[in-house]
Amino acid sequence: MEVKEISASHEERMKKALEVLRKEYASLRAGRATPALLDKVTIDYYGTPTPVNQVANVSVPEPRLIVIQPWDKSMLSPIEKAIQKSELGLSPNSDGSVIRLNIPQLTQERRIELVKVVHKKAEEGRVAIRNLRRDANEDIKKLEKDKKISEDEVKKAQDDIQKLTDKYIREVEQVMDIKEKEIMEV
């Protein structure tokens, strides 16, 4: 493997770590209705765990309301039960054809708890990126040990990896700040 390949593959993995963080944040309730809140809610659909958005139409007609319209009416009850069991803390209202989820205003206490979760997830993202930096540096050291590159090339490659790491950690910080503002916004 060549230095450029190591750098490119680790950058790709850093991008993926950032995307995972964004998806985690999308499923956090920030007091505003979004279909992404239901991304982690799954139901048993003919023996297969299936996300709600794959068995129903999920829409947000108002800022504090999610409407779930199952394609198969027999899925109403399993969807309701899955939402109640989830960690969303929402209670579904069904009228026999659609399920309505009212998103209550967050309390200040709950907002502070959510910010802590946001910070924890950001730290997990930073750790993942730093681990990728360590792996890339180990791969580079291995090339040097195998006499495929010189000491100067090792230094330059490690500097490049550090710049990538710094870039993605800054992006994690930006994503975290945006989500924190969204949660604290009343």
Over residues 96-107, the pLDDT tens digits come to 889 998 888 878
Low-confidence residues of the chain, pLDDT below 70?
Answer: 29, 31, 186
Over residues 13-36, the pLDDT tens digits come to 999 999 999 988 887 767 677 888
Give yes or no: residues 115 and 179 share one domain: yes
Here the tokens at position 63 are 């800022």
Per-residue b/e over 53-82, b at no fewer than 16 CB within 10 Å?
eebbebebeeeeebbbebeeeebbebbbeb
Reference 83, options 114, 52, 119; nearest CA is 52
pLDDT score for 186: 62
Residue where a domain terminates, one of 83, 102, 121: 102
Give yes or no: residues 91 and 131 share one domain: no
Residue where a domain terminates, one of 102, 126, 155: 102
Give yes or no: residues 66 and 131 share one domain: no
Here the tokens at position 135 are 């792996």
Residue where a domain terminates, one of 102, 127, 156: 102
Name the residue range of residue 136's domain. Answer: 3-26+107-184
pLDDT score for 90: 80
Give yes or no: residues 98 and 55 share one domain: yes
Number of H helices, E strands in the chain: 4, 6
